[in-house]
Amino acid sequence: MHAASRSAPVLRLASASPRRRELLASIGVVVEVAPADIDETRLKGESSENFVSRLAREKAEAGQAGSALPTLGADTVVVCDDTIFGKPEDEAHAREMLMTLSGREHRVLSAVAVLGPRGLVETRVSTRVVMRRIDEAEASAYWTTGEPLGKAGGYAIQGLASVFVDHLEGSYSAVVGLPLAETAALLRAQGVSLWGGTLPDIGSSGGAS
């Protein structure tokens, strides 16, 4: 019975991202995947911070439809000089983004919203990433690996692009797609058990309320 409870979904994930699913699995959270289809157009005059937080909220709200489970929505963007770098459209676009980030610092904003018994709780994390200088040949070779596809900013810090990163200040897991410490706090606040149910819920053993 205990084993079965660990394998049953305890959270609905409003995202098709395998990286977010893997990150949640790493802290013992089994999810039901229900990607949310929302308009991800940036509003006129909207800051990058407000943009990423709004998308996380809208994904959580859209993804919860028809489910009694708490629902997590998240969004991650790469920001350089207030320009949001999304997913590359093709090789030229991916190479352009990577060469813009080359030898410079940029921010990765990762927002998380969880809709559950306590209503909507949310957080946003900003991580500073500094890239070493990358030459055109490296950028072209990186594209051929297939890794840049579907990645904000055209790179995956947890993959082959790790060799491009000089240093990082903030949350590594947020750059991958989900700030785990902050996400865990939101989940526990909504009564979602971590570590396969072996970590006490907040408030059950004198923890934060």
Note the pLDDT of residue 184.
97
Write down the pLDDT at residue 196: 78
Q: What is the extent of the structural domain holding 17?
A: 2-197
Name the residue type at position 34: A
Compute the average pLDDT of residues 135-140: 95
Per-residue pLDDT tens for 154-206?
Answer: 999 999 999 999 999 999 999 999 999 999 999 999 999 898 776 666 554 43
Show the CA angle centred on residue 178, arms to residues 175 and 182, nearest 5°. 115
Percent of all residues in the chain with a pLDDT value above 90, rounded to a whole number: 82
Query: Does residue 90 have an active-site annotation?
Result: no
Scored b (16 or more CB within 10 A) or e, 35-49 reads ebebeeebeeeeebe
Q: Answer yes or no: is 205 within a domain.
A: no
CATH number of the domain where residue 91 is located: 3.90.950.10
Model confidence, pTM? 0.88
Residue 202 lies in a domain: no
Average pLDDT over residues 103-124: 97
Confidence of residue 208 (pLDDT cuts 50, 70, 90): very low
Hey, what amino acid is at 152? A
Q: Is residue 128 part of a domain?
A: yes
pLDDT of residue 182: 97
| Residue tagged active-site, from 75, 81, 90, 135 | 75
Work out the angle between the directed axes of helices 91-101 and 136-144 (0-180°, nearest 10).
130
pLDDT averaged over the chain?
A: 91
Give residue-wise pLDDT tens across range 42-89. 999 999 999 999 999 999 999 998 889 999 999 999 999 989 998 899
Number of H helices, E strands in the chain: 7, 7
Residue 206 in any domain: the answer is no
Above pLDDT 70, what percent of the chain?
91
Query: In which band, very low, low, confident or very high, does the pLDDT at 116 lie, cut at 50, 70 and 90?
Result: very high
In the predicted model, what is the mean pLDDT of residues 12-30? 94
How many folded domains does the chain comprise? 1
Q: Taking residues 150-156, what's their average pLDDT?
A: 92
